[in-house]
Amino acid sequence: MKFAKLLLSKSSTLVSIALLAASSAALASGSHAGGHGDSPTGKPGVASKVNRTIEMEMMNGMRFKPSEIRVKKGETIRFVLKNTDGVKHEFSLGTEKELLEHYEVMKKFPDMEHDEPNKISLAPGKQGDVIWQFTKADTINFACLHPGHFEAGMKGRVIVAAK
């Protein structure tokens, strides 16, 4: 009986170690799916409820155009982003704290792929969109968090006014 308990205990420990190793490997691979859909900045928008479309350009010189956007609390915005630069860029919408935390991860895993509704990575010449509902009045930030781009000034803000 003691042998069976010891064997069961060892098996549980090995399974736990294997699961831990698998989850660490998944994080190390640079995949960053899910988990950040809801945020103090708002929530993922529904395409059929878009109030406005704002076209944005990810440009040469590490800039977004426009770099300042004004919306109203409750609005659902479709950001149509086009990368007109010769390098890959990202649009990441969040609080300053969220962006800085994510930037530290991007420095370690610069080829990270995103699957969050408030982020999109675009290769040169590509276009994509982010649909977001702004649920509270505040100033929300956006940035390209590829290493070096944030420091070069590739960032902006969304000013969310009360209705």
Give the global pTM. 0.74
Stretch among 13-22, 76-85, 152-161 having the lowest mean pLDDT: 13-22
Residue 88 φ/ψ, nearest 5 degrees = -65, 140
Question: With respect to CATH, is domain 34-161 assigned 2.60.40.420?
Answer: yes
CA atoms within 13 A on the CB side of 120: 21
Per residue in 102-142, pLDDT (tens digit) is: 889 888 887 777 778 999 999 999 999 999 999 999 999 99
Q: What percent of the chain has pLDDT over 90?
A: 65
Question: How many angstroms separate the CA atoms of 41 and 151, rounded?
Answer: 22
Q: Which of 92, 95, 84, 161 has the alpha carbon at shortest distance from 120?
A: 92
Q: Round to the nearest angstrom and report the end-to-end CA distance of the chain.
A: 69
Question: How many angstroms separate the CA atoms of 17 and 27, rounded?
Answer: 15
Question: How many angstroms separate the CA atoms of 156 and 55, rounded?
Answer: 14
